[in-house]
Structure 1
């Protein structure tokens, strides 16, 4: 069997950087977009998300879900990226995690359909220990508390049933998102570094949905925890 790919991603020289900050979605106030627009050397609005060229990195914003994330990130990788930091939102599956809490992801379970195209027999993916330790060290230096925990990545947030929740809680899975496992898989496939730092935007642990996207602490946490990596 010939495994050579037919459609290959093409490099984009204007956005070639070794570091990528990937933010799947912004808060309702667009606080991240405003910060990126203020600091960007160049900006491009594409069908695959918003690209921002910064001094020593490139940022990818508004690129929701595993398929679209990987489509864009793979372009950055062939353009020279060697490191991906995902800064995003997650839902809490644990009673220990509340809205606006911060989680450094230690392991990702795949329920999305993208990662299997890179590792057909794998369902669990881990961050780069080097990058994760660097992110956590920065937070500790800034005296910013955080939790560590696992995440499950799904393509279907409207199929998070009570039986699904019970199963995840039984396995000790802390949170849910839509991209992390695919990003970790992509990074492992290309032998580059990836890690994820998340803010809890909603709670599902009780079996009822409690949204926090308009919580007053959300933008405050984004400034404290995300901006040091965006502006660094």
Structure 2
């Protein structure tokens, strides 16, 4: 057990999907995993372990924002030996390169958070995604006919940001969308020698002011979860057996 996760040793799989919403974690486990069993209810941040086509997979809620993500990702990586984490979430587009309901496979994540500056004594550490996970996800997205784009995200500490000019400047430098968790996830995965990737669906578009309905989000989210699970499966099968 760790401070925020009540799982016993061996109850969490080496491969974990992390949505922000714990109820979404429950939905993923009940919808996509076989023999799913709950291992965590601490603070109602639900976690489940089951199998996907024979591959052990856990689903763990992360909460919103980088401080919350850092708590759960650290404990998964440090205390439970997790080797792969794929964040599955939503994002707000700031680029005309992507459209509503597109999937973004994040190769990197800029941030306004001070977390890495505190860790690296003022250095702007630039965390990136695991290349193999990113490659598998891009190939799987193409084979499934998903509108997917590989590019950068901006992990903001503010959900309600009163500086629209900042989003425009980021877009000028190729950033595709805004979310709140990826930068610290990628940093922690690198610290613990693990693999991490964010796969995010564009749920709203800041430039066009378009937004998806609740039903559309669930349908698109299903496609994204299947993409993440197929990526986990392919990556797990490519690992050398011991």
TM-score when normalising by structure 2: 0.79
Tell me the distance in 1 between the aligned counterparts of 2:120 and 2:74. Answer: 15
**CA positional deviation for 1:143:** 3.4
Q: State the partner residue of 1:199.
A: 201
Deviations 1:30-67 (A, max 9, x none): 66632413542224222272111123121112511111
Q: CA deviation at 1:226?
A: 1.1
**CA–CA separation in structure 2 for the residues paired with 1:9 and 1:24:** 15
Aligned residues: 220
Runs of 4+ aligned residues of structure 1 deviating over 6 Å after TM superposition are 7-11
Q: Which stretch shifts more, 13-22 or 168-177?
A: 13-22
- Structure 1 31/85 Cα, relative in aligned 2: closer, same or farther at 3 Å? closer
Q: 2:9 aligns with which of 7, 13, 37?
A: 13
Task: Return the match for 2:50 from 33, 48, 54.
Answer: 54
Distance in 2, Cα, partners of 1:161 & 1:32: 32
Indicate how the Cα distance of structure 1 residues 167 and 98 shifts in structure 2: closer, same or farther if over 3 A, else same.
Answer: same
Displacement of 1:176: 0.5
Is the CA contact 1:153–1:180 (under 8 Å) kept in the aligned structure 2? yes
Gaps of at least 5 residues in structure 1 are 1-6
Question: TM-score normalized by structure 1?
Answer: 0.82
Q: Deviations over 1:145-183 (max 9, x none)?
A: 311121110111212422212221222211110000110
Measured against aligned partners, the alpha-carbon deviations of 1:74-99 in whole angstroms (never above 9, x if no partner) come to 11112110111111101100123222
Sort the Cα spacing of 1:41 and 1:8 in 2 relative to 1 into closer, same or farther, 3 A.
closer
Cα RMSD over matched residues? 2.7
Q: Pick from 177, 180, 190 the counterpart of residue 178 of structure 1.
A: 180
CA contact (8 A) 1:20 1:59 kept: yes
Residues 119 and 12 from structure 1, CA distance in 2 versus in 1: closer, same or farther, beyond 3 angstroms?
A: farther
Structure 2: runs of 5+ lacking an equivalent: 234-242
CA distance in 1, matches of 2:65, 2:154: 13
CA distance in 2, matches of 1:138, 1:80: 26
Question: Counterpart in 2 of 1:4?
Answer: none
Provide the rounded CA distance (Å) in 1 between the counterparts of 2:65 and 2:4.
19
